[in-house]
Homo-oligomer: A and B are copies of this chain.
Amino acid sequence: MRIAELSRRTGVPVPTIKYYRREGLLPPGELSSPNQAQYGEEHVRRIRLIRALVDVGGLPIAAVRDLLAVVDAPAVSVHDTLGAVLHRLIPARTVPEGETWAAVGKELEGLLRERGWVYEPGSTALQTATAALATMRELAGPTFAQRGLLEVYADAVERVAAAEIELAGSRASSVDSIVEGAVIGTVLGETLIGALRHVAQESASAKRFRN
């Protein structure tokens, strides 16, 4: 199909499609003449994935490009590819390290070690978690988000991740489909879990505070 038809099928304007091409998010079409490219179903699918990551997942275009580079790279092993996906999903935060930083980092590592979690030392995700917790304590006081709440958080994501990884392993027939499923499930799953948390907070607040 031509670019006009690709635009109609996906609901994405032609200039936006051309922008995705320039930014390397969308593979080139097949040239049927020097200035006429033909696109296929894989382009429809890719544009839908881009829109989902941006519109529903809330990712910036640069993050989408990095993620798609992993999706398109030849997969080595499931664990390494999943690791590459996860690594790209956590932007490195440029937060200056405050006073509570080192203590919070040790606290989190101790908590996860006790629970038997296996992760790379210096994990970007763990650094982001440290930044978030340290900033919470610096802003709201050192008794904010204490051990009891952290245990609830760790327990919740442990169950969530175990179910997700188990499903990824049981469902997928190839490393490629595991990786695409992981991108969709990780990014859109974060939106889903975040939104459900807000509904649950509204519900808990109604039960606790409403007269």
Contacts and interface: CB of A to CB of B under 8 A. Distances in A.
Nearest to A180: B140
Interface stretch (A13-21, A26-34, A159-167): A159-167
A36 interface: no
Interface string A120-152: 100101101101110110111001110011001
A138 B202 contact: no
Interface in A162-199: 162-167, 169, 171, 180-181, 184-186, 188-199
A8 interface: no
* Overall SS of chain A's interface: helix
B165 A156 contact: no
Question: Within the oligomer, what is the number of copies of this chain?
Answer: 2
A11 interface: yes
A136 B189 contact: yes
Contact of A125 (B82, B112, B166, B202): B202
Q: Interface size bucket, A side? A: 35 or more
Interface string A95-126: 11000000000000000100001111001011
B48 A202 contact: no
B78 A157 contact: no
A68 interface: no
A16 B81 CA distance: 39
A206 interface: yes
A189 B150 CA distance: 10
Contacts of A119: 199, 202-203, 206
A83 interface: yes
A35 interface: no
Given A11-B96, A79-B205, A145-B189, 10 more contacts: A55-B95, A56-B135, A77-B210, A123-B199, A125-B196, A128-B194, A129-B192, A131-B191, A140-B181, A160-B197
